Amino acid sequence: MNNPIGFDGFIQIAIVVSDIEKAASTWAELFGVPKPEIRYDPPRDNPDLTYRGNPTHYGLKLANIPVGQFIIELHEPDENPSTFREFLDKHGNGVHHLGFQVGDRRDAIVSELEEKGVQMRTVGYYPGSSWTIADLEDALGVNLNIKPIA
């Protein structure tokens, strides 16, 4: 690639689970840390969020476990269409994406991936940043989250 992602921006491993309470407790016990707070983001209309090119809204339970320089991010999706629901329905519990912070190279990286035929499964914008899930599941066994900043 002309715009390689780079390992220095590795920030997260995102795991989709069907039972976030159980997963959060098990991860916390494994690492000997307190069980992480579980946050619920309810479905809401957001014109800055797309799934497979279409506006979307879905609910998601989230929990973050800090691990050195990155986080393990747990996701439990609701039944609405989303990249997380798609993954859970297709694979069950598992690693949905690896997240990379790429700074101002985000647009160049996303454009180059699109030129190579990679679809952007989800694009979301929020104040001060964005997240883009590049659909590389078949090629890499995992999707990539391309973020300008954390």
Q: Give pLDDT tens digits for 128-137.
A: 889 999 999 9
CATH value at residue 140: 3.10.180.10
| 1, part of any domain | no
Residue pLDDT, tens place only, 28-64: 999 999 999 999 999 988 888 999 999 999 999 999 9
| 22, part of any domain | yes
Quote the CA–CA distance of 94 and 110 in Å, as a whole number.
Answer: 24
Quote the CA–CA distance of 118 and 110 in Å, as a whole number.
Answer: 9
* HSE of 56, CA atoms in CB hemisphere, 13 A: 22
Domain containing 31 equals: 7-147
Backbone angles phi and psi of 59, in degrees to 5? -100, 155
Structural domain count, the chain: 1
| 2, part of any domain | no
3-state secondary structure of 132: strand
